[in-house]
Amino acid sequence: MFWTKEIECAPREIISKIQSERLINTVNRVYKNVPYYRKKMDSSGIKPSDILSIDDISKLPFTNKDDLRNNYPFGTFALPMDQIIRVHASSGTTGRPTVVGYSKNDIEMWSENVARCLCMAGLTQNDMVQVAYGYGLFTGGLGLHYGTEHLGATAIPISGGNTQKQIQLMQDFGSTVICCTPSYALYIAEVLNEMGIDPASLKLRVGIFGAEPWSESMRKEIEQKLKIKAIDIYGLSEIVGPGVSCECTYQAGMHVNEDHFYPEIIDPETLQPLPPGEIGELVFSTISKEGIPLLRYRTRDLTRLIFDQCECGRTLVRMEKCKGRSDDMLIIRGVNVFPSQIESVLLEMSETEPHYLLIVEREGNLDTLKVQVEVQEQFFSDEIKELQNLSKKIKSNIESTLGISVTVQLVEPRTIERTAGKAKRVIDKRQT
């Protein structure tokens, strides 16, 4: 099923032509209307007339989160405020939030892209879509809500939290789709289990999960526990919110809506573009946005692009599941560690629950990594020896994946905090 087949299955030349036209237009517009861009381009010696096609994009300077923060709140907007009909903001962990503004056309374009994503994921207007992402400054709730309506499906705007109510509506309304973070999906599964409800008795068939990294093992776990197909959706508020890319039903990478959001992969150290297929930092340029167009925005997300045609017939470039963010990467005794690597090990083991926390500390000059993980009820034993053996097994599995030593702390089920939004997996006490 296609929403805009002529674009989604277009030959590369057609996509490149659209991208070139839109990029040239965007560069001219921001140069004229946004002092920040004019200054930045002038100081890099680039004029709008230097950009003749999408291939010239690498001549443009990068934009960072700090550039948005330094121009807080509306300094990078390209339209006067009377043409901005909505703002969203992303809080991040430090500093001022980054604020984004949408024109009427931007909201239309965003809804269109989310509808395209939902259609890729196999949704139709017959679906009842429970939107359990937070509504508010966060883009998840309203983004999925508008996309669902644009598709013509039924939106259930329940927002995040209140898990028993989520389940009640699933039963009473017959929700066929749930949209939330993957970690919250696991929590819903847990509460279903506690309430003695068989997921197979629900009409739920698809989950639209994103807003945080999640591994293939976590996908398996969610699919088994909720008896649904778990689809990965990606986006960030600075670019538009959810709907920048999404998996189709083949679940083989997320198709980027590249007629609106142009992806590049760069080496985060040298900032040079990497050859096709290599893993690096994802950079996006918005080429159709009006309110706050962003050129070469550094996402910090690490992934690779897949240019082959997908089995579904789409030619839109795919991005692999995010490996993590470069700023989430832990450097422990000089070794690069991604939380996703540990997640995969834990989720492959049948004795543990998919709830964990990584605690990094410094003792003397030595970094230490403690992995706290919940043990499944039936494996939680009074026998110290049994628990010790389990702990040893987890430790050795993680150590052989990471190549560094870790300590493992087994905790009882339901002791690690659950959230309705993005899960917090790491506490790094070294900075404080």
The binding site for ligand DLL (CB under 6 A) comprises 90, 133, 138-140, 210-213, 232-237, 241-242, 299, 301, 322, 325
Name the residue nearer to ligand DLL (CB basis): 135 or 138: 138
Q: What is the closest distance, in whole angstroms, from the C-beta atom of residue 354 to ligand DLL in the complex?
A: 16
Q: How far is CA 26 from the centre of its chain?
A: 25
| Residue type at 115 in one-letter notation | A
SS3 of residue 211 by DSSP: coil
Q: What is the closest distance, in whole angstroms, from the C-beta atom of residue 32 to ligand DLL in the complex?
A: 27
Q: What is the closest distance, in whole angstroms, from the C-beta atom of residue 200 to ligand DLL in the complex?
A: 26
Query: What string of DSSP letters covers 333-385?
Result: TTEEE-HHHHHHHHHH-TTEEEEEEEEEEEETTEEEEEEEEEEPGGG--S-HH
Which residues, including other chains, have CB under 8 Å from residue 106's CB and lie 6 or more apart?
240, 289, 290, 291
SS3 of residue 57 by DSSP: helix
Joined tokens for residue 224: 């088994």
| CA atoms of 228 and 207, how far apart (whole Å) | 7
Q: What is the closest distance, in whole angstroms, from the C-beta atom of residue 90 to ligand DLL in the complex?
A: 4
Name the residue nearer to ligand DLL (CB basis): 44 or 336: 336
Q: What is the closest distance, in whole angstroms, from the C-beta atom of residue 383 to ligand DLL in the complex?
A: 39
Name the residue nearer to ligand DLL (CB basis): 228 or 236: 236
- Residue 130's nearest CA partner among 179, 171, 58 is 179
Q: What is the closest distance, in whole angstroms, from the C-beta atom of residue 37 to ligand DLL in the complex?
A: 21
Q: What is the closest distance, in whole angstroms, from the C-beta atom of residue 213 to ligand DLL in the complex?
A: 4
Name the residue nearer to ligand DLL (CB basis): 83 or 90: 90
CB atoms within 10 A of CB 155: 21
By beta carbon distance, the residue nearest ligand DLL is 210
Name the residue nearer to ligand DLL (CB basis): 222 or 233: 233
Q: What is the closest distance, in whole angstroms, from the C-beta atom of residue 384 to ligand DLL in the complex?
A: 38
Name the residue nearer to ligand DLL (CB basis): 57 or 322: 322
Q: What is the closest distance, in whole angstroms, from the C-beta atom of residue 261 to ligand DLL in the complex?
A: 13
- Residue 41's nearest CA partner among 18, 57, 53, 54 is 57
Name the residue nearer to ligand DLL (CB basis): 19 or 160: 160
Which neighbouring-strand residues pair with 235?
A: 242
Distances (CA, A) of 26 to 65, 88, 99, 113: 19, 21, 19, 19
CB atoms within 10 A of CB 58: 13
Name the residue nearer to ligand DLL (CB basis): 107 or 197: 107
- Residue 418's nearest CA partner among 186, 204, 235 is 186
| Residue type at 362 in one-letter notation | R
**What one-character DSSP code corresponds to residue 121?**
T
Q: Is 211 left (phi over 0), alpha (psi -120 to 50) or beta?
A: left
Joined tokens for residue 87: 């703002």
Name the residue nearer to ligand DLL (CB basis): 179 or 410: 179
Distances (CA, A) of 242 to 151, 181, 402: 15, 12, 32
CB atoms within 10 A of CB 109: 20
Q: What is the closest distance, in whole angstroms, from the C-beta atom of residue 278 to ligand DLL in the complex?
A: 19
Name the residue nearer to ligand DLL (CB basis): 31 or 146: 146
